[in-house]
């Protein structure tokens, strides 16, 4: 148990934390990129796609708050 608590203080632990948070940030950016690129689909298709994206975000409210807190 003691080794688990001291892991963030080691260089390997710090690198693992940096890698995990980097992957979380990358996923966040890709998700926003996909959502925002829907604006470029055009006035007809883009509006419908953006509306569907907004509805999906509203339906996944609790999951969205977990992602925001991370």
Question: Is the Cβ–Cβ distance between 49 and 41 less than 8 Å?
Answer: yes
pLDDT at residue 19 tops 90: yes
Whole-prediction pTM = 0.64
Average pLDDT of the chain to the nearest whole number: 84
Q: 48, 29, 27, 26: which is closest to 39 by C-alpha?
A: 48
Query: What span, in angstroms and rounded, lies between the C-alpha atoms of 21 and 18?
Result: 5
pLDDT band at 4 (very low <50, low <70, confident <90, very high): low
Share of the chain above pLDDT 70, in %: 96
Burial of 38: CB neighbours in 10 Å, binned 0-12, 13-18, 19+: middle
Q: Rounded to 5 degrees, what angle do the CA atoms 51, 57, 39 make?
A: 40
Task: Give the pLDDT confidence of 22-62 residue by residue, as tens digits.
Answer: 998 899 899 889 888 887 877 777 788 888 888 888 888 88
């Amino acid at each position: 148990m003691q080794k688990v608590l001291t892991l963030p203080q080691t260089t390997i632990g710090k690198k693992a934390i940096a890698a995990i948070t980097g992957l979380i940030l990358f996923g966040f950016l890709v998700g926003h990129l996909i959502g925002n690129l829907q604006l470029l689909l055009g006035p007809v298709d883009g509006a419908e796609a953006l509306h569907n994206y907004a509805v999906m975000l509203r339906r996944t409210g609790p999951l969205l708050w977990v992602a925001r807190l991370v």
